[in-house]
Amino acid sequence: MSERRVVVTGYGALSCVGNNVAEFWDSLVNGRCGLGPITRFDASGYRTRIAGEVKNFDAASVMSFKDAKRMDPFCQYAMAATAEALASAGLPADLRAEDCPVDRMRVGVLVSSGIGGLGTLCDQMISLHERGPSRVSPLLIPMMISDLASGNISIFSGAGGPNLGIQTACATGCNSIGESFWMIKRDDADIMICGGTEACIVPLGVAGFCSMKAMSQRNDDPLHASRPFDLNRDGFVMSEGAGVLIIEELEHAKRRGARILAEIIGYGATGDAYHITSPAPDGDGGARAMTMALRHAGIRPEDVDYINAHGTSTELNDKFETLAIKKVFGDYARKVAVSSTKGTTGHALGAAGGLESIACIKSIEDGIVPPTINYETPDPACDLDITPNKAVRRDIRTALNTNLGFGGHNAVVIYRRFED
């Protein structure tokens, strides 16, 4: 492995529980759920009528009205989280500025969406059928395609390094951070703007997941609908937002006097080779991704203090993820602190890995394990220390984030307290 060390120097968050990192983290620690009835459209005919919508978001706070109109919300969310992340890292919003302390051609972007501009696609399909092909917007394609989160960030920030997007469903954000980690390790960039974004609380997106019977139907009790690892869980609750990190080569960060939030020490990515939606029933794919990340990090399972689990609140995910953790951590699996923050945030799909990585970094910074809320009835198949209902103060040196995606995608990133 390259000797180039990779550190986190900035972060930005937009979510149903807060429109910046401070609000997001405070909600996680205090178990303040952000789920509620869908307000974007009339969902009265849907099996599931609840979601985690971003609230009080004004795209004009980070871009002009004209630019906002040219972007699907998933890109707007990515731009907002990136603006906070760049400021957090002590970098200008426009890297072309004369006083910019970095070479913008060595700054890359990998901020991805699992679904992309589904809302724009749906709106333009209606225009096509009701008004004809000549009335389809010329902006349909650039607003819809998922790589435009990275594309727009690059255009507006001036970042001229590697620029791409990854689609691995709900593992998208985690894979984007992990692949960015390797780009810096192999000297393709000094800085990467990376993470995930999603905005698919639209009629077709909700209808599709409803038809799969994958989502909770606790429509009359949204605050308790997402209940990871609980025996009575009945599905995930869709949410949206963006989580973006600024990651940087260590010596480069030190030369410019950057504040170092954590170090990335390992990354693993595997495929289940099993089923389009279900994780492998023995947890093998997830276990191999964790093992790979631990090997790259050069640490033992016992060195991990906290696992931010994928924990979607679906029957199969939580059970099989528990098996994966046991397979890797052995007897220590019942001692390591585990939690799923999706009880609070719902499932932000492609944005989950970015947001949950921020949760890992904040847990290291503040020495707090955020809780798995809505845990009422233990499930014998999920017999881990899942930090039920209340945050726990604990010295956390190393935190592991894991995300799984439809198609059998498994992604794991390991963060550690920075020690020079």
- Cα 214 to chain centroid distance, Å, stands at 19
Cα distances from 330 to residues 101, 107, 302, 414, in angstroms, run: 46, 40, 9, 18
Whether residue 250 is predicted with pLDDT greater than 90 in this model: the reply is yes
**What is the pLDDT at residue 393?**
98
- Which CATH number is 190's domain given? 3.40.47.10
Residues 296 and 394 both lie in one domain: yes
Residues 85 and 175 both lie in one domain: yes
Residues 237 and 292 both lie in one domain: no
Residue 1 placed within a domain? no
Would residue 347 show up in a list of annotated catalytic residues for this protein?
Answer: yes
Whether residue 3 is predicted with pLDDT greater than 90 in this model: the reply is no
Residues 156 and 230 both lie in one domain: yes
Residues 11 and 36 both lie in one domain: yes
Residues 159 and 279 both lie in one domain: no
Which of residues 226, 255, 284 is at a domain's end? 255
Active-site residue among 210, 347, 360, 382?
347
Q: Which two tokens stand for residue 280?
A: 């492998």
**What is the pLDDT at residue 29?**
98
Active-site residue among 16, 33, 75, 170?
170
CA nearest neighbour of 76 among 41, 111, 114, 122: 111
Residue 69 placed within a domain? yes
- In sequence order, the β-bridge partners of residue 14 are 242
Give the residue-averaged pLDDT of 177-195: 98
Whether residue 1 is predicted with pLDDT greater than 70 in this model: the reply is no
Tokens 């979510």: give the residue.
15
Q: How confident is the model at residue 2 (pLDDT cuts 50, 70, 90)?
A: low
Residues 218 and 289 both lie in one domain: no
Would you say 109 and 192 are in contact if contact means Cβ atoms under 8 Å apart? yes
**What is the pLDDT at residue 386?**
97
Would residue 382 show up in a list of annotated catalytic residues for this protein?
Answer: no
Residues 223 and 246 both lie in one domain: yes
Provide the domain count of the chain: 2
Would residue 170 show up in a list of annotated catalytic residues for this protein?
Answer: yes
Residue range(s) defining the domain that contains residue 184:
7-255
**What is the pLDDT at residue 273?**
94
**What is the pLDDT at residue 240?**
98
CA distance 137 to 157: 26
Active-site residue among 174, 310, 360, 409?
310
pLDDT tens digit sequence for 64-78: 999 999 999 999 999
CA distance 409 to 169: 8
Residues 207 and 348 both lie in one domain: no
Whether residue 180 is predicted with pLDDT greater than 60 in this model: the reply is yes
Q: Which two tokens stand for residue 331?
A: 């007897």
Which of residues 208, 227, 255 is at a domain's end? 255
Would you say 168 and 271 are in contact if contact means Cβ atoms under 8 Å apart? no
Which of residues 255, 290, 318 is at a domain's end? 255
pTM over 0.95: yes
pLDDT tens digit sequence for 22-61: 999 999 999 999 999 999 999 999 999 999 999 999 999 8
Residues 132 and 40 both lie in one domain: yes
